[in-house]
Amino acid sequence: MSADTTSVDGPVPELRDRAVACADRLRRADRVLLASHIDADGLTSAAIAATALERAEIPFETVFAKQLDEREIERIAATDYDTVLFTDFGSGQLDVVAPYAADGAFTPVVADHHRPADVPDGVDEPACHLNPLLFGLDGASELSGAGASYTLARALEPPNVDNRDLAGLAVVGAVGDMQGTDGGLSGANQGIVEEGVAAGVLEEATDLLVYGRQTRPLPKFLEYATDVRIPGITNDEHGAIEFLSELDLDLRDGDEWRRWVDLTMAERQTVVSGLLQRAIASGVPADRIDELVGTTYTLTGEDRGTELRDVSEFSTLLNATARYERADVGLAVCLGDRDEALDRARRLLRNHRRNLSEGLQWVQNEGTTVEENVQWFDAGTRIRETIVGIVAGMAVGTSGVRGDVPILAFAEKSDEEVKVSARGSHALVRQGLDLSRVMREAAREVGGDGGGHDVAAGATVPAGTRATFVAEADRIVGEQLS
């Protein structure tokens, strides 16, 4: 590993040492099967690992999976690959992976950040397990799957190769996995940011924390700014236009509205000042107003005004690919395809936004069923199981959906299985909420399985077990928050 590696390695040398050992195992492999998850963190993890393997001249093939269950691991074991690199999953499935490894089916190398499962008695833990939770780092906020893959990529550097240019993808993965706290990344993630800035691929700034800085016309930019709701502007097209028109700024380019990226710093300051004044006058709590401005990240090598320049927009674009069975498109974009793959990704993104909007409207119309400690809704086939968790997170705190209790969202996965997604808040996590344990234990109670992070997790359960699952989840959450 390069001598100038910064805080990704510095505070946790054990993480660096484990990455070096895992890299050595990959170098000894004849060829590697790279298996990764399908969300933005999974796609960026795969792209980082694929690039590092290619630069190290290690032959590999890439596959994706929505869920790494026993059937998927069995299929992987049936291949003729002696080494399998799992990125953004694998830790939560060690109870299945480890026995296959012990039987000699394959040697696993795991670069993940989810809560590790316990291996069965008498079975050894995989030696190449790179997970921040094993080294005192929070896998939900301090290092993502892409960050773990990036740490491995730095350890895989051949002589005269610098993989710090992959830091931008690692930040996309972290932001896509909602690892930002107080508007910015922290822990080992911040070390990756520093490396990306030093490599010239990333820019860190303080700016308005509203989605669409690069691409949305100003009225839509403010209308859809729902993280901090400002009465008379949020979800109000006429109100947003009226607010902008009163600022005494030239915010149009001919008949077209300008975008946030088009504004000068002085113009941005005028808009932000006006928003803050409106928020205060409308009674928005001070702690919520503080969330309007924070740390933003820009990929300096991407064209201005595109979805790829802002890491938040980039992550949304990636979510619009693999969640619609086109992980290959998202991976190609991450690997630099700015022609056919990017065009396809943009079409998928338009469809994704439409589905999210329709799903959110359905949840707001139907509302949730509130138990003692959780709330839930069952979308059946109305919302795709691959996006029901995103919709649930968007719905929290909107009309008909409480913001002070966790939400469980059900969607049909097949005739036999149901997907469950759970979302909480960092405030509830500070009170003891751990949705990873909730999903895992409640799912296993009904013959399914689950896991994830303390603030966001998921499970797959047999059809017809919803009532028992909800009751068990409600009980566990009650115990955690008591």
What pLDDT digit, counting tens, does each position of 242-283 carry? 999 999 999 999 999 999 999 999 999 999 999 999 999 999
The more confident residue out of 26 and 69 is: 26
Mean pLDDT throughout 361-368? 95
Q: How confident is the model at residue 181 (pLDDT cuts 50, 70, 90)?
A: low
The correct answer on CATH 3.20.20.70 for the domain covering 367-481 is no
Residues 6+ apart with CB under 8 A from 323: 38, 39, 352, 384, 386, 387
- The CA distance from 56 to 25, in Å, is 12
Mean pLDDT throughout 465-479? 98
- The residue type of 157 is E
Q: How confident is the model at residue 1 (pLDDT cuts 50, 70, 90)?
A: very low
- List, for residues 258-268, the tens digit of each pLDDT value: 999 999 999 99
Would you state the pLDDT for residue 227?
79
- List, for residues 395-407, the tens digit of each pLDDT value: 987 778 998 999 9
Q: φ, ψ for residue 406 (rounded to 5)?
A: -60, 155
Mean pLDDT throughout 226-234? 88
Mean pLDDT throughout 225-238? 89
Would you state the pLDDT for residue 5?
39
For 369, the token pair is: 């069923």
- The CA distance from 229 to 240, in Å, is 12
- List, for residues 398-439, the tens digit of each pLDDT value: 778 998 999 999 999 999 999 999 999 888 999 999 999 999
Place of tokens 């993630």: 189
- Long-range contacts, 302-307 (Cβ 8 Å, 24+): 304/214, 304/261, 305/214, 305/215, 305/259, 305/261, 305/262, 306/214, 306/215, 307/214, 307/215, 307/346, 307/349
Residues 6+ apart with CB under 8 A from 83: 25, 26, 29, 30, 31, 32, 33, 106, 107, 108, 109
For 469, the token pair is: 């699952």
Q: Could you tell me if 273 and 243 are in contact, meaning their C-beta atoms sit under 8 angstroms apart? A: no
Q: Is the pLDDT of residue 3 over 60?
A: no
- The CA distance from 149 to 112, in Å, is 8
Q: Is the pLDDT of residue 144 over 90?
A: yes
| CATH domain 13-198 topology | inorganic pyrophosphatase (n-terminal core) (3.90.1640)
Would you state the pLDDT for residue 183?
63
- List, for residues 96-128, the tens digit of each pLDDT value: 999 999 999 999 999 999 999 999 999 999 999
- List, for residues 29-59, the tens digit of each pLDDT value: 999 999 999 999 999 999 999 999 999 999 9
- The CA distance from 134 to 129, in Å, is 9
Share the mean pLDDT of the chain: 94
Q: Is the pLDDT of residue 180 over 90?
A: no
For 228, the token pair is: 């901090």
Q: Is the pLDDT of residue 14 over 70?
A: yes
Torsional sign, CA 33, 37, 42, 47? positive
Q: Is the pLDDT of residue 293 over 50?
A: yes
Q: Which of 249, 244, 254 is nearest to 267 (CA)?
A: 249
Place of tokens 């400690």: 373
- In order of 248, 302, 331, the CA distances from 352 in angstroms are 36, 22, 17
- The residue type of 21 is A
Mean pLDDT throughout 117-141? 94
Would you state the pLDDT for residue 8?
46
Mean pLDDT throughout 364-381? 97
Total-model pTM: 0.90
Q: Could you tell me if 149 and 48 are in contact, meaning their C-beta atoms sit under 8 angstroms apart? A: yes
Taking the C-alpha atoms of 192, 195, 197 and 199 in order, what is their torsion angle to the nearest 10 degrees? -140
For 275, the token pair is: 């928003």
Q: Could you tell me if 448 and 460 are in contact, meaning their C-beta atoms sit under 8 angstroms apart? A: yes
Q: What angle do CA 234, 235, 237 make, to 5 degrees?
A: 100
- The CA distance from 54 to 335, in Å, is 11
Domain boundaries, the chain: 13-198, 208-356, 367-481
Pairing status of strand 407-412 against strand 375-378: parallel
For 51, the token pair is: 């690039």
Q: Please tell me the least confidently modeled range out of 1-15, 142-156, 172-186.
A: 1-15
Q: Is the pLDDT of residue 389 over 70?
A: yes
